[in-house]
Amino acid sequence: MNDLHLNQPRRATLAPTLTTLPGAVWTAAVLAGLLRLPGLLWPIRPDEAGFTLVARAWDPRSDSMFGDYWVDRPPLVIALVKAADAVGGAYFLRAVTALACVWLVVAAGQTARLIAGDRAGDRAGDRAAIWSAVATAALTSSALIDPVVAKGEILGIPLVVTSFGLALLALRQESPALAAAAGLVATTALGLKQNMVGGLVFGGVLLLAAWLTGQIPRTTFRRLARAAAAGAAVPVLATVAWAVGSGVRLDALWYAVFGFRGDAFAVIASGPAGAPHARAWQMVGIVLLSGLAWILAGFLTRLGAAWRLDRTVTAATLAVILVDTAGLVLGGSYWRPYLFLLLPGAALCVALFAGLDTREGAAMRTGVVGAVFSCGVSWVILALAATGGAVKPSEYYTGEAVRGAAVPGDTLVVFGGRADIQYASGLSSPYPYLWSLPMRTRDPDLAELRTVLAGDDAPTWIVEWVDFHAWETPGADALERMVHARYDVHGLGCDDRPIYLRRGVIRPPLVLDCDQPWSWRGRAAQVVSVG
């Protein structure tokens, strides 16, 4: 088949079609949301904690978008964290994430129906919608990736997938307004994580392929391209306007959002490779065990069949997979939630094949079943580990111990970049870097940290969560000498991590039990109260 259906514009809009999605799509969406809710009962994680602390202290100045704390993220994601925190505390962002997962699954189902329905009829469209929604729900909820943490990846992919649907509608209806909406939504995703370019890639390649294959004339291509570019420019211009209005230099904005990544990659490449390599292999295992590999391979090994089905969508899907995979590989750090970046491409793969009564359709549906099975098994294992006390939040216990011994006005620096310890302690930090990578990149010889420790604003407490020499930093010896000259070991945190108290300051002993199993029911009220 070719894509002649795209030459026959319809006047349908996105909103009415949502009301007629199969009930199974909505069921999958609700389940995806519900499976994020147990995360409300688990202590806040490092990125969530760091973003919350940055948001609470947000005070833009010329050389720093966020003021006292520095982070390499766009202002939009910190604004979202700040809004969620204002509504319901730090943990409310996880409730927002649950709603985002509902939105994501519905958007995946709707996009699949747009891809398959016009080509093969309503029945195939509904089947594709159901299978795509189920696959997306299973991968989003998999405990192999991360069913707890609320980060830019999981918050941004609903926007990416929504932009897919808008781009398809814009092309089908030859609508500049929908093209502008697709560009706007796709670029907004970059405000939540700056490497989320999948929406822009899909829309651009879809439109280009439609013109090159003769499905739309050049005049239509230009009209839609201009509209999409105008829509994509809106979030960029809004961010620039905010920076100018807040007194933030544009070079500081650019460096924090994009420029820092090049410097950070050089730091990662020159540092010890053991931990990143181990995480990379772990991610490979997760891709294989989660069913994600089967889904992606089901598309990549059947490109010819996909091309015959739908040339424009096949080209756009292939571009999304290649670009997102390259971004994942070149990132260098390889944390598990980064795998969420591959989910929009996987949803497109399922949409192309799963609704068909063919070998390709059967193989893709088998991959989705595998993803569902893997999700279920991963949750069983997680539940057993959590209820059996095998999983203990050492960082939270350590920060909680400092909180119990501290008095108002105390401050804390956590060496090693564990913002969850900082958050659990309830103390602010006089050092601007709450993550290890910004510290290693922007303070490579620890001169800024040593200046803080030597000054009047020296922290009351220091937690050596990572050994001072872990990254073979040039200033590690000098830092260690300064700490031992001005601080005494006041106790040990979990995993025997030293906790230092500034010499001459009197505080009660630390009280903590690192072997205490975490009880979700028993600690829920306490966790929420801290948030």
Please tell me the predicted confidence (pLDDT) of residue 123. 80
Helices and strands: H and E segment counts in the chain: 24, 4
Check: CB of residue 463 under 8 Å from CB of residue 402.
yes
What's the confidence (pLDDT) of residue 12? Answer: 41
Per-residue pLDDT of the chain (531 residues; tens, 9 = 90+): 444 344 343 434 444 466 688 999 999 999 999 999 988 888 999 999 999 999 999 999 999 999 999 999 999 999 999 999 999 999 999 999 999 999 999 999 999 999 987 665 578 889 999 999 999 999 999 999 999 999 999 999 999 999 999 999 999 999 999 999 999 999 999 999 999 999 999 999 999 999 999 999 999 999 999 999 999 999 999 999 999 999 999 999 999 999 999 899 888 888 777 788 899 999 999 999 999 999 999 999 999 999 999 999 999 999 999 999 999 988 778 889 999 999 999 999 999 999 888 899 999 999 999 999 999 999 998 888 777 666 788 999 999 999 999 999 999 999 988 999 999 999 999 999 999 999 999 999 999 999 999 999 999 999 999 999 998 888 999 999 999 999 999 999 999 999 999 999 999 999 998 888 776 544 544 444 445
Q: CB of 61 within 8 A of CB of 153?
A: no
Q: Which of 153, 101, 145 has its CA nearest to residue 382?
A: 145
Strand order through the sheet with 461-464:
412-415, 461-464, 498-502, 487-492
Residue identified by tokens 């991610």 is: 283
Give the C-alpha separation, 207 to 356, whole Å. 25
Q: Could you tell me what percentage of the chain is helix, strand and coil, using 3-state DSSP and rounding each to the nearest 5?
A: 70, 5, 25
Q: What is the pLDDT of residue 119?
A: 64
* Of 391, 393, 386, 374, nearest in space to 144 by CA: 374
DSSP β-bridge partners for residue 464: 415
Residue 246: half-sphere exposure toward Cβ, Cα within 13 Å: 22
Coil, strand or helix at 491: strand
Q: What is the pLDDT of residue 10?
A: 40
